[in-house]
Structure 1
């Protein structure tokens, strides 16, 4: 059985997800183990707490 191409009424990921963070297009660290700064970790932690609406995440 052949599958038909996706029609215009079928939702895609872009239709159902709203990005909450900006993504860097810089892939020079791809597949490496970078060590994010403490400031970056704190900002990401705060962002995740806001997403789950929790003070003790």
Structure 2
């Protein structure tokens, strides 16, 4: 059993996909909650958008 997500790999089910470390895959997409969104989400949404990654 892996001891952390750094020990887990992810392989997308598509032809030509490459194996990636799970933490890298999870870092591809961010959510405003990753930046502290709660009752006033405006600043967290702006921070998520400014991260330069895909926002969900």
User: What is the TM-score when the length of structure 1 is the normalising length?
Assistant: 0.28
Larger Rg: 1
User: What is the TM-score when the length of structure 2 is the normalising length?
Assistant: 0.28
Where is the helix percentage greater, Structure 1 or Structure 2?
2
Identify which of structures 1 and 2 has the higher relative contact order when contacts are C-alpha pairs closer than 8 Å and 6+ apart: 2
Where is the strand percentage greater, Structure 1 or Structure 2?
2
